[in-house]
Structure 1
Amino acid sequence: MEDNPFKGHPLLLSVPHAAQLLGISRAAAYRLVNSGELPVRRLGGRVYVVTARLRDIGS
């Protein structure tokens, strides 16, 4: 059975929380957001990382 570090997390994560799960700095996560490398959704002026798509990046 595959160990999934994203299991049990909400569908959308804050950028700092996603950075922590990926083991990168908050600044690096925001750079990835700005370059389009992190899958995000923008809601109400805030940016959230799509948890389900992090599995591909974190592997």
Structure 2
Amino acid sequence: MEKKSVFDELPLLIAVPHAAEILGISRALAYRLAATGELPSRRLGGRVYVVTSELRDFVAA
């Protein structure tokens, strides 16, 4: 049986605070990383979301 990853259950985009929780960092740091482009994010309708597939690569790096 294949081991499931936390990323397998996530939608395509997640809110920055949720990504911060997964990464174990503060919300403020997650927003700073998103603003600098270090955390893969997209802005939709004035809100910032993290791209789940790219978050997996971010964690692996």
C-alpha separation in 1, matches of 2:12 and 2:37: 18
Q: TM-score, normalised by structure 2?
A: 0.85
Name the SS for the 1:24 alignment partner. coil
C-alpha distance after superposition, 1:21-49 (max 9, x if no partner): 11111011011011110111111111100
Deviation above 2 Å: which 4+ runs of structure 1? none
Q: TM-score, normalised by structure 1?
A: 0.87
Percent identity, aligned pairs only, is 63
Change in CA separation of 1:57 and 1:2 when aligned onto 2, cut-off 3 Å? farther
- Structure whose CA Rg is larger: 2
C-alpha separation in 2, matches of 1:26 and 1:40: 14
Name the SS for the 1:6 alignment partner. helix
Name the SS for the 1:7 alignment partner. helix
Structure 1: gaps of 5 or more residues: none
* Offset of residue 7 of structure 1: 1.0
Name the SS for the 1:37 alignment partner. coil
Residue type of the partner of 2:31? Y
